[in-house]
Amino acid sequence: MAERIPEVLQKKLSDRLSFYDDLGIRLFYKDRSAAQSHVGSSRSLQQHSHEETTLPKPARKPEPMKLPPSALRAAAKGEALPKVTGPSLFEAVNKIVGDTLLKIREDLGECTRCKLHKARNKIVFGDGNPKAQLVFVGEGPGHDEDMQGLPFVGRAGKLLTQMIEAMGLQRKDVYICNVVKCRPPDNRTPEKDEVTTCSPFLLRQLDAIAPKVIVCLGSVAAQTLLETNRGISHFRGEWLEFRGRKLLATYHPAYLLRNPSAKSEVWKDLQKVMAVLGLEVKKGKSA
Ligand code: SF4
């Protein structure tokens, strides 16, 4: 049986090998005379003379993290590192195992993660085709939605339905959801912490559906997905990108109820969407 190298010596040997490994030296040869004179050398090391010997591999140091040039420049100037925009570990795992709307709904459960749960009647998760090519994202449920547990079923919802039908589609062809799943009291705008808490579920929904086009209805949806504070008027009707998908922001149907003259702008936006989806654009038709 081969003699065990004492632990202290093993450690020293490993450290030394690590040092050589860092220098790029990975092959070792032993000299018989040196080996014979070495007190405590293992018998196995004395079996061959001037031949390649396999030594225990040093513990590998983890590879240093490679930063992109923009991060290196920022670090050199002492600025904050740019935000990492890749998927979180959670998202990455979900991608591997295959997330589904059903699983996301199960994970949401009877959610109490933010204060909006206190006044809600029903969670409004989303509705429509789980494999839709087109997803509409609104801000949050209103009174009717909260009562029924379905998105866009009130007056603004009826207008959205008309818009969808004017595109030559039906509600069951698309998917409709919101940034927050519970109604904000008095239909106020969702607060930042509420959006931050709830929006990961929206992101998972979008990843699971994998639509060709995402249409953001109003500022909150657009600002959440685009991670911007800019007003919607700066980018309404422009094609933007969200995680490799086409995104277009337009006015919320509730805004159109208050400002009917903006309908023609929204119709122009939706015609752009129709063109990308290969839907026939009928001239002069609007919701
Ligand atoms: S808004 Fe979203 S995070 Fe907040 S309680 Fe409702 S489901 Fe949960």
The predicted-structure confidence for 86-112, as pLDDT tens digits, reads as follows 445 555 555 556 899 999 999 999 999
Kindly give the distance from the C-alpha atom of residue 199 to the centroid of ligand 1, in angstroms, as a whole number: 9
Between these two residues, 80 and 269, which has the higher pLDDT value? 269
Whether the per-residue pLDDT at 43 is higher than 80: the answer is: no
**Ligand 1: nearest atom to the Cα of 112:** 5
Whether the per-residue pLDDT at 196 is higher than 90: the answer is: yes
| Section 208-212 average pLDDT | 98
pLDDT of residue 41: 40
pLDDT of residue 137: 98
| Ligand 1 pocket, residue 181 CB under 6 Å | yes
**Token output for 277:** 């989806």
Between these two residues, 74 and 177, which has the higher pLDDT value? 177
Q: How far apart are CA 260 and CA 21, in angstroms?
A: 72
Kindly give the distance from the C-alpha atom of residue 172 to the centroid of ligand 1, in angstroms, as a whole number: 25
**Ligand 1: nearest atom to the Cα of 114:** 4
Whether the per-residue pLDDT at 18 is higher than 80: the answer is: no
The model's pLDDT over 68-89, given as tens digits with 9 standing for 90+, comes to: 555 455 556 555 444 444 445 5
- Only one residue has tokens 């069951």, namely 172
pLDDT of residue 273: 98
**Ligand 1: nearest atom to the Cα of 190:** 1
- Only one residue has tokens 């100037």, namely 77
pLDDT of residue 7: 79
Between these two residues, 54 and 243, which has the higher pLDDT value? 243
Q: How far apart are CA 84 and CA 93, in angstroms?
A: 17
> Is the distance from CB of 177 to CB of 125 less than 8 angstroms?
yes
